[in-house]
Amino acid sequence: MEWIRLPLAEGIYTKQAHCDLPDGTFEREVGKEGFGGPAAHFVHRHAPTGWLSFDGPVKPRALDFAESKDGHASPWQAPVMMHNSHCEVRWWRLAENMPALARNSDGDQLLFIHDGAGVLFCDWGRLELGEGDYVVMPRGSMWRIEVSQPLAVFMVEATEDSYRLPDKGMLGPHAIFDPAVLVRPVMDDAFRAQQTETETRVVVKRRKSLTTITYPFNPLDALGWHGDLTPVKLNWRDIRPVMSHRYHLPPSVHTTFQCNRFIITTFCPRPIESDPGALKVPFFHNNDDYDEVIFYHKGNFFSRDNIHPGMVSFHPSGFTHGPHPKAFAAGAAAVKKETDEVALMIDARDPLDLTDAALKLEWTGYADSWKVKKDQA
């Protein structure tokens, strides 16, 4: 419930945010708490991203994870690309079966399967993996993967935290995706067949250090279980995005998983707004309370140029960003009727630090990609 509050206004403005802008103008949103708090919407003569140069720590960056070809037998050997005290992002390539079990004692682990296929064995049983799967592994789980096709995995740790489903409010609990589509591991014949007396190592990550525990048998030897804690799998194809033909919705509407200090959002193919006055690309905004990371999984991202699957954009809090000039023009002309991209976004409440491993993969021309060429002006 919310009280009726009439907003303040000055000069030229629109009565509805993201709609019916005067010709040749640009809207910029400045808000609190991402897109959920108080906000002001400015009408500008020039695109807020029309800078001549950009130098300093809030410079936007693009990283091409697809260029990192090194494989690692353990997820804890995969390089950390960015991190803060509540979140850690790794890029992991796995070409062969894991030789040891993994356990994360620092927090829940999210695996997003960018490419490849395999089978995950864990305390709860066996789980098939394929392209486009999210897998949430509870903190303390033991698990390993057998590979059928080489895997590329985008991993996000909820450090000292847990993944939960977002509050869907008046949309109801079955909106975006019904919990019934979540898949859990099963204790089938294939799971029981791997319960051997073979010496097995478990590599435990805790406080950025690794401990190896060796058993004279495979400790994934559970006979059964009961309770309400389990790994779950969700494929992006089972997500049904919220849509509005008359109003461009903020990205937080597409939240898939939520932690205390960051959220995971999924952009899936959807129809583009059809109302003549509605903005048809993401609006220019200052996301001053969050660092924004987008991993591009599939398709062409409709608000970006020069981005391909496997790339990551990093927008530190503190600057205005929005669609690239060509994308903005295409949106204004209603060139496309639907999007075809699939992307994962992290909105982190605490600043993220990029590592040297990430910066080695940087496309240095990203900040300049918003510049308008003379023949486009």
Torsion of CA 237, 239, 243, 248, to 10 degrees: -90
Respond yes or no: is residue 114 known to be catalytic.
no
Annotated binding-site residue? 321 = yes
Buried b or exposed e, range 281-306, using 16+ CB within 10 angstroms: bbbbbbbebbbbbbbbbbbebbbbee
Structure tokens at 97: 């079966």
Residue identified by tokens 């000069």 is: 11
The answer to whether residues 313 and 354 touch, using CB atoms and an 8 Å cutoff, is no
Q: From the candidates 18, 114, 248, 297, which is the catalytic residue?
A: 248
Annotated binding-site residue? 64 = no
Separation between Cα atoms, residue 50 and residue 327, nearest integer Å: 14
The answer to whether residues 85 and 337 touch, using CB atoms and an 8 Å cutoff, is no
Annotated binding-site residue? 291 = yes
Binding site, annotated residues for Fe cation: 285, 291, 321
Active-site positions read 248
